[in-house]
């Protein structure tokens, strides 16, 4: 998928924020020591805004700035033909030049741009009052947004991340425990044990409480 199609599958900003927070929490439970964790979530990143990030360590990443009613998403697929690095360090038409002015400061923020202002293969945004996410890109070139944002677009995010983290970490996760995290159920020792059998459940819950506070 490219950005126009991805925009049609993304839920509203509040749902994106909940999914992002729970994805980061789930990965913390799976990997509390932090080695090679991909997902992050910062509440209160800027006044009125939270920040969700993903970095796979291989040059592909996204950042999502979210308020209660608005959001802006930066995607970077380093192998995309729409990367500035494949186009003489020029942004693809309809990405940065179409971004509403109120979101422009985010692109200059190292927390949002990943320390590289050229790391943009797709941008999507949603202003207060918008009925859906938008992008300025036209055409059908693959910009990486579909697979980068797959966990936010999937109709069953628990099943998506159950499979994803099992593959990424080479471990076995209990699907019901994963669903408990994504449904916002209370974290119990049973849930903790279902996603991480190597750490004492009580200790894992204590560390998770500190992480998410």
pLDDT at residue 125, rounded to an integer: 98
pLDDT at residue 7, rounded to an integer: 96
27/207 Cα distance (integer angstroms):
13
DSSP secondary structure string, 27-68? HHHH-TT-TT--EEEEEEEETTEEEEEEE-SSS-EEEEEE-S
pLDDT per residue as tens digits for the range 69-122: 999 999 999 999 999 999 999 999 999 999 999 999 999 999 999 999 999 999
* Per-residue pLDDT band at 139 (split at 50, 70, 90): confident
pLDDT per residue as tens digits for the range 156-210: 999 999 999 999 999 999 999 999 999 999 999 999 999 999 999 999 999 999 9
Q: Evaluate whether 172 touches 165 at the Cβ level (below 8 Å).
A: no
99/65 Cα distance (integer angstroms):
14
pLDDT at residue 46, rounded to an integer: 96
Q: Is 122 helix (H, G, I), strand (E, B) or coil?
A: strand
pLDDT at residue 42, rounded to an integer: 97
- Domain boundaries defined on the chain: 3-154
What is this structure's pTM?
Answer: 0.96
**Angle of helix 175-182 versus helix 13-30 axis, rounded to 10:** 140
* Per-residue pLDDT band at 63 (split at 50, 70, 90): very high
């Amino acid at each position: 998928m490219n950005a126009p199609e991805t925009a049609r599958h993304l839920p509203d900003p509040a749902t994106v924020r909940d999914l992002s927070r729970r994805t980061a929490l789930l990965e913390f439970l799976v990997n509390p020591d932090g080695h090679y964790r991909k997902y992050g979530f910062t509440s209160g990143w800027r006044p009125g805004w939270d920040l969700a990030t993903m970095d796979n360590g291989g040059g592909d990443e996204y950042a999502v700035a979210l308020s209660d009613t608005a959001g802006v998403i930066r995607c970077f697929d380093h192998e995309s033909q729409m990367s500035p690095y494949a186009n003489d360090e020029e942004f693809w038409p309809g990405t940065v030049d179409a971004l509403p002015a109120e979101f422009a400061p985010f692109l200059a923020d190292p927390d949002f741009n990943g320390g590289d202002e050229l790391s943009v293969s797709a941008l999507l945004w949603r202003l207060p009052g918008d009925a859906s996410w938008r992008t300025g890109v036209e055409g059908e070139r693959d910009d990486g947004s579909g697979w980068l944002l797959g966990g936010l677009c999937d109709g069953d995010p628990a099943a998506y991340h159950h499979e994803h983290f099992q593959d990424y970490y080479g471990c076995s996760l209990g699907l019901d425990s994963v669903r408990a995290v994504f449904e916002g159920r209370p974290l119990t020792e049973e849930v903790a044990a279902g996603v991480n059998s190597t750490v004492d459940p009580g200790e894992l819950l204590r560390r998770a409480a500190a992480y998410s506070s």
